[in-house]
Structure 1
Amino acid sequence: MVSVGTSEVARVGRPPKAARDMARERIIAVATELFSGRGFAGTSMEQVASKCGAGKDTVYRRFPSKVALFESVVEDAHKNAVARLELMPTVTGDPLTRLESLVRQLLRVNMEPDMIALKRIAFSEAVVFEKGGPIPPQPDPIMAKLVEAVESAQEDGALCPGNASEIAGHLIHCMVAMPTGAAMMGSNEFGSPAAVDAHFDKTWTWLMNGLKQL
């Protein structure tokens, strides 16, 4: 009778969770690269599998469709943005200074080429999604962090009273959505870090002049 070691038994059946997680991460990384470079329509599940060095069945076991894969790519990009904000060095100073630092970092993260490419695809291909496009999970932790920063600045007397969520939404629209929207449409107006910073400095100044306590 031949004995079978525990390491051999472990290889029978489904792979361990760590291996499955690594396979998923590899698929997401490759899909992000392909979707960003070729667009949604120009990327196939076969291409993803081939570039991963995996079988097509392996990809489909984790992502039942190309739409499901793209939704996961967008969700992972959003999670990565949240993680990067969490790793930001602690900004010292008053609440308004901390708010400014948070919004500036949000702008920089959202203006990265991969993020712009994924947003462009999500909007241009929204017709294939039942809900009009993949969206971050709600409540959005990035917005929650921004609302909290606005409330702290209000409590400090640096911003006018008002609905903190609405103020946060206007900040995102003016400071982040405008330049990212232009980039998604192919504009080079904000094509350099210096141009992005110039937009931030100019827009932040006039926004704060309107929101500061009189």
Structure 2
Amino acid sequence: MANSNGSTEFMADGVAHTGGRPSHEAAEELDRTVITVATAEFMRAGYAGTSVEHIAKVIGCSKATIYRRYPSKKELFRAIVQERCQHMVGILQAQPGSMANPMDAMKDMLRRFLDFLLVPETVETYRILIMDCQQFASITADLDEAIDPLHQRMNMLLGQALGWPDTPENRAEIAMLEMSLRGLVTGWPLHQMLSGHKPFATETAKNRFFEASWNVLESAVRTRALSGPPA
């Protein structure tokens, strides 16, 4: 309900409203707040150092309010991983589909992917998953499933650039090449971030690294296109 000066407060159910039943918009706002606050707290203190009770305290709601949405801390973290996946898919699908040249589309996707990986929320999510991979095996599987369409698109673009016949053997070779070539762009920066280091001092340094990596990747694709598919 509204307090004495007319402002809105969180009620016992954790939803901000001014009287009567909480609105659908208020419930959605609380959902977003839970994810935002939980993400910030997991980043700050890690998974083990973050409690649902503390997240509820920061939000100004009860633990029961969060548990009605997410039955456990692990399920709350799963929701954060899914939110990161949705954000990544949205970023990577923004432009490349309209590009006629498959190499241009791959370059655009890889640059967007690199930028996404360097976001602190993304790095911390990866770090938590890596630190206790057994506990989060099912969440990691969800992550792999969520981003698989993006890998498939990269495979399709790489196949178009190579010009190989569409056979099971060639598709398997292209999938292996895609993983290797993607690592040229993303491997070192992500490793640096996971190790607590800043890979690039400036945006210019990041651009130089990306262009250098892309030149190597582009040369490798041209070479494989000329040599043809595996025998």
Report the TM-score range of the alignment, normalised by the length of the smaller protein: 0.7 to 0.9
Are the counterparts in 2 of residues 150 and 164 from structure 1 also a CA contact under 8 Å?
Answer: yes
Separation of aligned partners in 2, 1:105 and 1:22: 28
Residue 190 of structure 1 is matched in structure 2 by: 200
Shift in Å, 1:125: 3.3
Q: Against the structure 1 CA distance between its residues 127 and 89, is the aligned structure 2 distance closer, same or farther, given a 3 Å change threshold?
A: closer
Distance, in Å, in 2 between the alignment partners of 1:130 and 1:114 is: 20
Structure 2 unmatched runs, 5+: 1-19, 165-169, 227-231
Q: One-letter code of the match for 2:211?
A: D
Mapped to 2, the partners of 1:180 and 1:118 lie a distance apart of 12
Q: How does 1:1-214 map to 2 (within 5 A)?
A: 18-88=25-95, 92=99, 94-131=101-138, 133=140, 135-136=142-143, 138=145, 140-155=148-163, 163-212=173-222, 213-214=225-226
Identity of aligned residues (%): 24
SS at match of 2:143: coil
Structure 1: which 5+ runs fail to align?
1-10
How far is the alpha carbon of 1:167 from its aligned partner? 2.0
Determine if contact 1:40/1:125 at 8 Å carries over to the other structure: no
Distance 1:115 1:24 in 2: 20
**Alpha-carbon deviations, 1:167-195, whole Å to 9, x = none?**
22112222113311221111233354333
CA distance in 1, matches of 2:29, 2:155: 35
Provide the alpha-carbon RMSD of the alignment.
2.7
In the superposition, relative to structure 1, how do residues 132 and 87 fare at CA in structure 2: closer, same or farther (>3 Å)? Answer: closer
Q: Is the 8 A contact 1:125 1:133 kept in 2?
A: no
Q: Give the AA of the match of 1:205.
A: N
48-57 or 18-27, larger mean C-alpha shift: 18-27
TM-score when normalising by structure 1:
0.79
Matched to 1:165, the amino acid is A
Q: Residue in 1 aligned with 2:4?
A: none
Letter in 1 for 2:143: P
Measure, in 1, the Cα distance between the counterparts of 2:96 and 2:110.
14
Report SS of the residue matched to 2:145.
Answer: coil
Answer whether contact 1:91 1:101 (CA < 8 A) is retained: no
Deviation (angstroms), 1:44:
0.9
Letter of the structure 2 residue corresponding to residue 187 of structure 1? H
Distance in structure 2 (CA, Å) of the matches to 1:191 and 1:116: 17
Deviations 1:152-176 (A, max 9, x none): 32239xxxx7633222211222211
Q: Quick one: which amino acid aligns to residue 200 of structure 2?
A: F
The Cα offsets for residues 4-37 of structure 1, whole Å up to 9 and x where unpaired, read as xxxxxxx66xx66554433322211111111112
Whole-Å Cα distance in 1 between the matches of residues 54 and 198 of structure 2? 30
Moved more, 24-33 or 192-201: 192-201
CA contact (8 A) 1:95 1:149 kept: yes
Secondary structure of residue in 2 paired with 1:188: coil
Deviation at 1:199, TM superposition (A): 2.1
Separation in 2 of the partners of 1:132 and 1:81? 16
- For normalisation by structure 2, the TM-score amounts to 0.74
Contact 2:78 2:139 in 1 (8 A): no
The residue type equivalent to 1:42 in the other structure is G
